[in-house]
């Protein structure tokens, strides 16, 4: 029989929060070595094992005894609360082994079994205080000089780590927590949330949420862990919550589709559905205006989208003290691809030193600007004639520049699509490519939905796979669609995707899954076997 060292972290204390392997390891051991309180906590699992109980301060002799018995051929469980590798017995066992010249190949077998450490069990009772970069600091100066501990508290406080304080105070050691609070207050606000958890998942569990200023008014002892929030941590409904980051991104609110199904295709609200006249394009804005008026009559709030949502998000950002980053995509127009110098200037101006200006592959420039006042930025951009779009899973109409007059006949349809569906919230980003002639040089057939204007009618392509090494164009599903059919057909396709698409399901996958949209059957795309690479691989 060969001996084995089982170094076990049994979690905070309740059996429910112990791992299966920890339980098995206790059961399969011949000898259990641990501090008396710990042995009591796992009492229910014991089945005749020899118990070697020692006091708190005899850790070294405990470790030596464990190694000695394992070398005699016994299976020895060395138990720690939480995780054995966090201020537990695992390191000490290895220290003893190293001293004896132990190696894995020649020496006794060692298995370290992980457990839920106090930082995790206590955090779960407080809400979600850890979430972001965090550290543990033990305030016990038994084996670590206080100077070093104080320096670590100072560094962690300055770097805005969430801090879990282990061994915060004992009967004899009472000064450290007072000093620690002083150091923390140099770097963090007095109202910084602090959680104090005693005996997590044990009989005398106690959970207190307080502040850095008031933390010493509460009982803190040997069985307590203290969690200090970072600069963004807040208390909501008694729960201590640290957000995932320091920035909260928000965008223009996605506009809803304004018409109900029974309102569609009525001349007064959808003038683009009227038979195309041969009038010059100078007439077009009138029809457009009529549509705008009609839409406004139906929904007076049109034209001021997004205010409510933005406000709510800003309140949340203020609550968590996060920097609000306004994200918006900008272009010179739907069919216009040329920026003016004044437009470039205003972009630079609103972005300022702190904002980002990113060039995207989608006929847009992306702005990310730290601001609490998106309205003012929106106004300035719009005044300069720029078209603004929200960022995220919204529909975008990507039109070509309709390079001469004849091709411009189809512009109103692109505009109508943009007007009706642009910015609509969809399961996953959806691009409708719209090209004004059969050259399709802006790559409409490569988009999720492609529309190509040809001899007064439209060709339709569905389900392009726009990214990846196995990208492919959309399938040609209809040739020569009548102009008045176009907008309603696209609208029905998009609505079906909105209604039935799974969250994050790309349009080409949706098309494949449902097999048919608007009577257009999905046809299997011939595939060359290429695994899609993860970006960066």
Chain-centre distance of CA 517, in angstroms? Answer: 32
- Cβ pair 227, 241 in contact under 8 A: no
Minimum distance from residue 209 beta carbon to ligand SAH (Å): 15
Residue 223 near ligand SAH by CB under 6 A: yes
Which residues face 431 on adjacent strands? 396
- Cβ pair 115, 10 in contact under 8 A: yes
Q: Residue 190 is encoded by which pair of tokens?
A: 């007095």
- Cβ pair 442, 361 in contact under 8 A: no
Of 224, 314, 435, 475, the residue at the interface with ligand SAH (CB under 6 A) is 224
Which of 97-105, 199-207, 481-489, 520-528 is the region at the interface with ligand SAH (rule: CB under 6 A)?
Answer: 199-207
Based on CB atoms, which residue is closest to ligand SAH, 82 or 412?
82
Buried b (16+ CB within 10 A) or exposed e, 480-516: ebebbebbbbbbebbeebbeebeeebbbbbbbbeeee
- Distance between CA atoms of residues 421 and 482, nearest Å: 19
Buried b (16+ CB within 10 A) or exposed e, 112-126: bbbbbbbbbbbbbbb
At residue 140, the 3 state secondary structure works out as: coil
Q: By CB under 6 A, what part of segment 281-300 binds ligand SAH?
A: none
Of 38, 166, 320, 510, the residue at the interface with ligand SAH (CB under 6 A) is 166
Torsion of CA 64, 70, 71, 73, to 10 degrees: 160
Q: What is the DSSP string of 427-475?
A: SS-EEEEEESSTT-TT-GGGSSEEEEEETTEEEEEE--B-SSTT-BPPE
Residue 12 near ligand SAH by CB under 6 A: yes
Residue 34 near ligand SAH by CB under 6 A: no
Residue 207 near ligand SAH by CB under 6 A: no
Residue 13 near ligand SAH by CB under 6 A: yes
Residue 206 near ligand SAH by CB under 6 A: no
Q: By CB under 6 A, what part of segment 470-509 binds ligand SAH?
A: none
Residue 135 near ligand SAH by CB under 6 A: no
Residues 323-362: x/- map of binding to ligand SAH (CB under 6 A)?
Answer: ----------------------------------------
Q: What is the DSSP string of 224-235?
A: EEEEE--TT-EE
- Distance between CA atoms of residues 332 and 341, nearest Å: 11
Residue 167 near ligand SAH by CB under 6 A: yes
Residue 197 near ligand SAH by CB under 6 A: yes
Which of 219-227, 338-346, 361-369, 427-435 is the region at the interface with ligand SAH (rule: CB under 6 A)?
Answer: 219-227
Q: What Å distances lie between residue 508 and 423, 448, 481, CA to CA?
A: 19, 7, 21
For tokens 């038979």, name the residue: 275
Minimum distance from residue 13 beta carbon to ligand SAH (Å): 5
At residue 263, the 3 state secondary structure works out as: helix
Tell me the residue nearest to ligand SAH as measured from the CB: 82
Q: Residue 131 is encoded by which pair of tokens?
A: 């979430």
Torsion of CA 255, 522, 502, 390, to 10 degrees: -30
Minimum distance from residue 136 beta carbon to ligand SAH (Å): 8
Residue 180 near ligand SAH by CB under 6 A: no
Minimum distance from residue 112 beta carbon to ligand SAH (Å): 12
Minimum distance from residue 122 beta carbon to ligand SAH (Å): 5
Which of 76-84, 285-293, 408-416, 422-430 is the region at the interface with ligand SAH (rule: CB under 6 A)?
Answer: 76-84
DSSP count for the chain of H helices, then E strands:
14, 25
Residue 122 near ligand SAH by CB under 6 A: yes
Kindly determine how many residues on this chain lie close enough to bind ligand SAH according to the rule CB under 6 A.
24
Minimum distance from residue 167 beta carbon to ligand SAH (Å): 4
- Cβ pair 183, 153 in contact under 8 A: yes
Residue 208 near ligand SAH by CB under 6 A: no
Residue 215 near ligand SAH by CB under 6 A: no
Q: By CB under 6 A, what part of segment 82-101 binds ligand SAH?
A: 82-83, 86-88
Residue 209 near ligand SAH by CB under 6 A: no
Residue 222 near ligand SAH by CB under 6 A: yes
Of 200, 254, 432, 440, the residue at the interface with ligand SAH (CB under 6 A) is 200
Based on CB atoms, which residue is closest to ligand SAH, 202 or 512?
202
- Cβ pair 251, 390 in contact under 8 A: yes
Radius of gyration of the chain (CA): 33
Minimum distance from residue 331 beta carbon to ligand SAH (Å): 54
Minimum distance from residue 163 beta carbon to ligand SAH (Å): 12
Residue 117 near ligand SAH by CB under 6 A: yes
Residue 129 near ligand SAH by CB under 6 A: no
Of 81, 233, 331, 343, the residue at the interface with ligand SAH (CB under 6 A) is 81
Task: Return the closest-CA partner of residue 76 out of 118, 53, 110.
Answer: 110
Of 49, 80, 343, 435, the residue at the interface with ligand SAH (CB under 6 A) is 80
Residue 404 phi, psi (nearest 5): -145, 175
| Residues of this chain that bind ligand SAH (CB under 6 A) | 12-13, 80-83, 86-88, 117-118, 121-122, 166-167, 197, 199-202, 222-225
């Amino acid at each position: 029989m060969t001996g084995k060292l089982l170094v076990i972290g049994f979690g905070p204390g309740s059996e429910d929060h112990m791992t299966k392997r920890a339980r098995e390891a206790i059961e399969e051991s011949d000898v259990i070595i641990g501090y008396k309180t710990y042995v009591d906590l796992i009492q229910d699992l014991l089945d005749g094992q020899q118990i070697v109980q020692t006091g708190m301060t005899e850790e070294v002799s405990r470790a030596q005894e464990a190694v000695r018995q394992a070398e005699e051929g016994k299976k020895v469980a060395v138990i720690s609360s939480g995780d054995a590798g966090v201020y537990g017995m695992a390191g000490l066992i290895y220290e003893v082994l190293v001293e004896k010249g132990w190696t894995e190949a020649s020496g006794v077998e060692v298995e370290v079994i992980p457990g839920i450490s106090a930082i995790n069990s206590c955090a779960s009772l407080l809400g979600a205080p850890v979430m972001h970069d965090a550290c543990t600091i033990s305030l016990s100066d038994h084996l670590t000089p206080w100077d070093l501990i104080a320096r670590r508290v100072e560094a962690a406080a300055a770097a805005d780590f969430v801090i879990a304080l282990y061994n915060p105070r004992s009967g004899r050691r009472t000064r450290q927590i007072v000093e620690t609070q002083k150091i923390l207050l140099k770097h963090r606000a007095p109202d910084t949330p602090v959680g104090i958890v005693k005996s997590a998942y044990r009989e005398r569990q106690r959970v207190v949420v307080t502040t850095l200023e008031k933390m010493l008014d509460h009982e803190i002892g040997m069985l307590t862990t203290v969690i200090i929030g970072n600069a963004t941590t807040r208390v909501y409904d008694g729960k201590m919550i640290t957000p995932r980051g320091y920035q909260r991104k928000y965008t223009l609110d996605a506009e809803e589709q304004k018409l109900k199904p029974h309102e569609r295709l009525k001349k007064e609200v959808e003038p683009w559905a009227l038979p195309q006249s041969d009038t010059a394009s100078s007439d077009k804005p009138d029809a457009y205006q009529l549509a705008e008026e009609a839409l406004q009559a139906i929904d007076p709030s049109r034209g001021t989208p997004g205010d409510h949502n933005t406000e709510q998000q800003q309140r949340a950002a203020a609550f968590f003290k996060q920097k609000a980053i306004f994200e918006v995509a900008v272009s010179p127009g739907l069919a216009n691809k040329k920026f003016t110098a004044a437009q470039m200037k205003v972009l630079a101006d609103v972005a300022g030193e702190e904002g980002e200006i990113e060039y995207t592959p989608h006929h847009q420039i992306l702005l990310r600007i730290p601001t609490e006042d998106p309205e003012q930025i929106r106004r300035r951009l719009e005044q300069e004639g720029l078209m603004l779009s929200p960022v995220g899973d919204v529909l975008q109409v990507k039109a070509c520049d309709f390079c001469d007059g004849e091709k411009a006949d189809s512009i109103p349809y692109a505009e109508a699509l943009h007007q009706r569906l642009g910015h609509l919230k969809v399961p996953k980003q959806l691009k409708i490519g719209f090209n004004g002639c059969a050259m399709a040089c802006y790559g409409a057939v490569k988009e999720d939905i492609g529309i190509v204007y040809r001899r007064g009618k439209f060709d339709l392509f569905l389900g392009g796979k726009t990214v990846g090494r196995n990208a492919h164009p959309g399938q040609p599903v209809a040739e020569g669609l009548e102009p008045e059919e176009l907008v309603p057909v696209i609208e029905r396709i998009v609505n079906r995707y909105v209604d039935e698409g799974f969250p994050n399901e790309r349009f080409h996958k949706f098309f494949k899954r449902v097999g048919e949209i608007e009577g257009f059957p999905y046809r299997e795309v011939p595939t060359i076997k290429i695994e899609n690479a993860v970006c960066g691989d």
